[in-house]
Amino acid sequence: MKRKLAALLGIGLMSVSLVACNSQATENKSTTDPNVTEQNSTDETGNTNEDMAGESLLQWGKIISVDKESGQIVIEDKNMPAEEGNADFNKIVLNTSGDKTAFVNAETGEKVSIDDLKEGDEIYAWVSIAFTASEPPQTFAYVIATNTAVMTPPKYIGVASVEKTDAGLFLTDTMDEKWDLTDVESKNITAYEDGKEIDPTTIKANSTCLIWPANVPVTEGSDTTVLKATRLIVLQ
């Protein structure tokens, strides 16, 4: 069990290293979202919203089972090979909540629900770094995204600020990554709750969001990398 948890966290730490070298999303489908928010409410794991965006792992897995009544989803981790003699080794139990887990289509950004999930589907899941010591381990999922065919999944971030300048519209996340929203169509900046367009300048600090990076970042100055965004959904 300890070896398995170490492997799960190891994948996340490896991804942090990769992100540090290259801020744009890559084809590696298991990573850590290194962004922090400072809200104080808690989820079912006892983690604060600071943990939610700041200390979350991006898991990529195939659904083994879905209990739509309890909200529990069992996945087979696509980045962890099965172990002979241990059928549960590469399985993870994702606990979800109707009001604290966001369900979206990773390609379109459309809101979906647990009712749309079925056995055999592949999903992205942004989960808490806190895993139980059970076999298989359990954790809480903050975001579930369907349609993993997209090459670059969205990132789960906390918002530090949104600023409109003569140069354009920019969002800075809580890990000091800067995102260029200037060319994002208004229809692609929406609220998760109702899907309605929102004015990005009204997004408050400490909000949590999903942001879709473009394939190529633009560099501003000698040491500041600005990431181009194509879509933004404000979760809370």
Tens of pLDDT, residue by residue over 53-100, are 657 889 999 999 999 999 999 999 988 777 666 767 789 999 999 999
Q: Residues 6 or more apart from 111 whose CB is under 8 A from it?
A: 102, 103, 104, 105, 192, 195
Residue 41: the pLDDT is 35
- Identical fold, 57-146 and 155-234: yes
Superfamily of domain 57-146: Nucleic acid-binding proteins (2.40.50.140)
Burial class (CB in 10 A: 0-12, 13-18, 19+), 213: buried
Give the phi and the psi of residue 173 in degrees, each rounded to 5.
-90, 175
- Residue ranges covered by each domain of the chain: 57-146, 155-234
- Whether residue 81 is preceded by a cis peptide bond, meaning omega within 30 degrees of 0, is no
- List the single range of 31-35, 74-78, 213-217, 224-228 with lowest mean pLDDT: 31-35
Answer CATH for 155-234 from 1.10.8, 2.40.50, 2.40.230, 2.60.120: 2.40.50
CB atoms < 10 A from the CB of 83, how many? 12
pLDDT, position 43:
46
Residue among 137, 152, 47, 128 at smallest CA distance from 92: 137
Percent of the chain with pLDDT over 90: 58
Task: Supply the pTM of this predicted model.
Answer: 0.75
pLDDT at 16 over 50: no
pLDDT per residue over 121-172, tens digit each? 999 999 999 999 988 999 999 999 999 988 788 999 999 999 999 999 999 9
The residue with greater pLDDT, 217 or 20, is 217
Can you read off the two tokens belonging to residue 67?
Answer: 């209990």
With helix as H, strand as E and coil as C, how does the chain read? Answer: CHHHHHHHHHHHHHHHHHHHHCCCCCCCCCEEECCCCCCCCECCCCCEHHHHHHCEEEEEEEEEEEECCCCEEEEEECCCCCECCECCCCEEEEECCCCCCEEEECCCCCECCHHHCCCCCEEEEEEECCCCCCCCCEEEEEEEEECCCCCCCCEEEEEEEEEEECCEEEEEECCCCEEECCCCCHHHEEECCCCCECCHHHCCCCCEEEEEECCCCEEECCCEEEEEEEEEEECC
What confidence score (pLDDT) does residue 175 get? 83
